[in-house]
Structure 1
Amino acid sequence: MRVLDPSSRITRRIAAVVGLVVAAATALSACGSSGGDSGDTQGAVKLGLITQLSVGDYFVVEANGAKAEAKKLGVDLQVVDSGQDPQKDVTLAQSLITGGIKGLAVVPSNTDIGPRVFRVTDQAGIPLVASDSPLADASGKKAPFIGLDNTGSGEQVGKILASEYGKKGWSAADTYFAVVAAPTLQVCNLRTNAEVSVFQKANPSFPSNHVVTVPYDGTPGKATDSMRTAITAHPQAKHWLITSCNDDGVVGAAKALQGNDFPAANVLGVGLGGDLACQIYADSYQQVAIPTTTYLDAGLIGATAVKTLYTLVVKKGKVGDNVYVPTPQIDKSDYQKYAGCK
């Protein structure tokens, strides 16, 4: 754009339009994928899914579930990757609508984008569905939500942790609680805040200064690095409790303790989501340190998001405000039934 005459108002307008068209085309060609063979979906109703494929395996499983359901229903699902960039959520929504979608599901990078995404879908006259994280417009009207009950799942983990901690008989004086949290992710905060709240209600005498926030970005590597810092800062800790908003945070923190030769029997982690269950229960240290997790079927969430759009777009039906996917508690005795390890 800088090669054009910056003093020309018309030139600047042309450049802006060209830039938007190129960006939209590039986004779809680089990130998009069809939910089925082009021969199977030619002429079919088009739906869109904006997710975070490049961020973690969970989102890949979720997208695969959505694609499988789309193929079953005979709709053409366009899946694109925001890479956890909130601005891309908005531009990709615009691009998908330009491409002819009749309904949009979004796994938001940040719930703050709600008003902007709603504005785009409302202008196009198409339904919007939120998956994993809620979305609302400027007036507070919410899109139908499909996914995990974030606060409820945190409360579930907090109850499990409190129960398992009670069985250990550890002294609170030398026990520390690592809360592996991603402060920029609202859904993560909902889960971890609930975990801490439920645990503290069950253990009111547990020292509040023994609850340590371990910041991370949603990946095990960052959790490991941050947990190393926590270990160094609290050499007096003889026992560690660990929770997070997903399995990745718990596993990452446990790896830091493992690398520090901290006894697995002195660690009590409770996972959330179960996407790393196969890794946890194949490792002798982790299966002791993380004896249980909850299981969230990401593929089912993706499939349910597509079903919901299908009901709204094709059947012209009504759907509920929230569809929560169940999260059973699993351990080494039954994880393969859920996690499908190979």
Structure 2
Amino acid sequence: MRHTNPIKFALAVGLSASMLAGGASAQENLIIAIYKSGTQQYFIDQAEGFMSAAEELGYEARVINVETDSNLAISAVSDAIAAGARGIAITAPDQALGPAVSTAAAEAGVLMIATDDPLEDASGNALPFAGFDGVAMGTRVGERAGALLAESGWLEGESYAIMSVEVQTLSVCNDRTNAAIDQIVAAGGSADNVVPVAYDGTADLALSAAGPVITANPGVDNWVVVGCNDEGVLGATNALRNAGFDAANVIAVGLGAYEACRPWAAGIDTGFKAALYISGVDVGDAAARALINAIETGEPLPPMTVANTTIVDPSTYADIMPCN
């Protein structure tokens, strides 16, 4: 799998209709993907999968990065419609945008599929979705974290805490972290030892949010860390390192593996002990193919397309995934 420079995919949202080209009439072979946090590796990969699948099927694909700006996301949908897109895939920065963006697409006669984060229309109906099962992902992360905790010896008298790095406003993130904690508790961890850390999905905010939490728990000698994505776990493990914790005192299980694999590849001692590998390429590919099939056949978009996931660790990742 190639990893392409984010500039190739992260188009400016404030493009004029002339730059997007196509006017108000739909082009026969244009589909557009709109991504939050489009400079994160996962979304770069997803954009690559989307564009590659479209090219293979004879379609033109464009990508718009809106980072975490809801107003830019709404503008991006309008821009995509003005460009003549036949279909739009969107990972919205806020799930509350579902009614607005789906209404705009429906009124324009443009197909829309939600990627990564489920969306609902104004009537509360789920939009077609391509991505991962949040509960299943969190379950697999928690199973591995729980097993590592049980093997660590920390349950026999060692002081430990379980850091849950959470995007508390995003349902799919809550699905992941809640399921992970459930599995850690099932493996013997104490629910009383769970310490939530709220962040926005970025490593920087996870780092800054985890620091005060670590300081507020001076009696904790060992930490288990899970989160909504690899960035959250990365930020928390960096905060623990900054606070003086050795890698041996951290059991971090990532979700994504694109950040976890980097210290593994470099031979650096790290708190990342495992991660759930998810391929953004697969989601982008699935979304593009679903849109194009619906455009070509007139059939409805499938309600849900779920991609596979795999647990990796320092001894297995290189056989399963690329690491840039």
TM range (shorter): 0.7 to 0.9
Q: Is the CA contact 1:273–1:327 (under 8 Å) kept in the aligned structure 2?
A: no
Q: How far apart are the structure 1 equivalents of 2:103 and 2:198? A: 33
Please give the secondary structure, in 2, of the residue aligned with 1:285. Answer: coil
Q: CA deviation at 1:311?
A: 0.8
3-state SS of the aligned residue for 1:116?
helix
Cα deviation 1:284-316 (Å, max 9, x = unaligned):
221xx2211010010111111100000111232
Between the aligned partners of 2:63 and 2:38, the Cα distance in structure 1 is 12
Letter in 2 for 1:57: Q
- Residue 62 of structure 1 contacts residue 300 of structure 1 at CA under 8 Å; is this kept in 2? yes
Pairwise mapping of residues 28-177 of structure 1 onto structure 2 (< 5 A)?
28-29=15-16, 44-52=28-36, 54-171=38-155, 174-177=159-162
Superposition deviation, residue 173 in structure 1:
6.0
TM-score by length of 2: 0.87
Taking structure 1 as reference, are residues 337 and 44 closer, same or farther at Cα in structure 2, changes over 3 Å only?
A: farther
Label 1:169 to 1:75 Cα distance change in 2 as closer, same or farther (>3 A): same
The change in CA–CA distance for 1:140 and 1:93 in structure 2 (over 3 A counts) is same
Q: Aligned AA for 1:241?
A: V
Distance 1:140 1:63 in 2: 28
1:304-340 CA-to-partner distances (Å, cap 9, x unmatched) read 1100000111232344311111110111122123331
Is 2:162–2:225's contact at 8 Å kept on the other side of the alignment? yes
Q: Take 2:152 and 2:20, find their aligned partners in 1: how far apart are those partners?
A: 49
Tell me which protein shows more helix as a share of its residues: 1
The more displaced of 59-68 and 163-172 is: 163-172
One of 181, 203, 206 as aligned partner of 1:220:
203
State the distance in 2 between where 1:102 and 1:139 align.
23
* 1:27 and 2:14 matched: yes
SS of corresponding position for 2:127: coil
Structure 1 moving runs of 4+ over 3 Å: none
| Identity %, equivalent residues | 31
Cα RMSD of the aligned pairs, angstroms, is: 2.4
Which runs of no fewer than 5 residues in structure 2 stay unpaired?
A: 1-11, 22-26
Which residue of structure 2 aligns with residue 291 of structure 1?
273
**Contact 2:135–2:179 (8 Å) recurs in 1:** yes
Match of 1:199 in 2: 184
Q: Contact 2:141 / 2:253 at 8 angstroms: preserved in 1? A: yes
CA contact (8 A) 1:51 1:106 kept: yes
CA distance in 2, matches of 1:139, 1:221: 36
Relative to the length of structure 1, the TM-score reads: 0.83
Q: Which amino acid aligns with 2:237?
A: A
Cα-to-partner distance string for 1:33-91 (whole Å, 9 max, x where unaligned): 89xxxxxxxx7511121112545222111111111111111111121122222222222
Q: How far apart are 1:142 and its partner, in Å? A: 1.6
Q: How does 1:208-287 map to 2 (within 5 A)?
A: 208=192, 210-281=193-264, 282-286=266-270
Partner amino acid, structure 2, of 1:77: A
Deviation at 1:212, TM superposition (A): 0.8
Which deviates more, 160-169 or 222-231? 222-231
Report how far residue 248 of structure 1 moved: 1.2
Asked whether 1:308 is paired with 2:290, we answer yes
Which residue does 1:22 correspond to in 2? none
| 1:152-197 deviation line (CA, Å, top 9, x unaligned) | 1111111111111111121366110111112233322221122122
Is contact 1:146-1:304 (8 Å) kept? yes
**Partner SS, residue 67 of structure 2:** coil
The answer for the alignment partner of 1:189 in structure 2 is 174
Residues 187 and 227 of structure 1, relative CA distance in 2, 3 Å threshold = same
Which whole-Å CA distance do the structure 2 matches of 1:66 and 1:88 have between them? 20
Q: Are the structure 2 counterparts of residues 54 and 29 from structure 1 closer, same or farther at C-alpha, using a change threshold of 3 Å?
A: farther
Mapped contact 1:273–1:296 kept (Cα < 8 A): yes
Q: Distance in 2 between matches of 1:198 and 1:334?
A: 22
Shift of 1:280: 3.0
Q: Looking at CA atoms only, which structure, 1 or 2, has the larger radius of gyration?
A: 1
Deviates more, 1:110-119 or 1:305-314: 110-119
In structure 2, relative to structure 1, the CA distance for the partners of 1:33 and 1:183 (3 Å cut) is farther
Structure 1 portions without partners, runs of 5+: 1-24, 35-42
C-alpha distance in structure 2 between counterparts of 1:83 and 1:302, whole Å:
17
CA distance in 1, matches of 2:154, 2:279: 33
**Which stretch of the first structure deviates more once superposed, 293-302 or 330-339?**
330-339
CA distance in 2 between counterparts of 1:327 and 1:207 reads 26
Contact 2:258 2:323 in 1 (8 A): no
Rate the CA distance shift 1:117–1:293 in 2: closer, same or farther, 3 A: same
Query: For each residue in 1:205-228, what CA deviation from the matched residue of structure 2 results, as whole angstroms up to 9, or x when unmatched?
Result: 7151x2111222222222222222
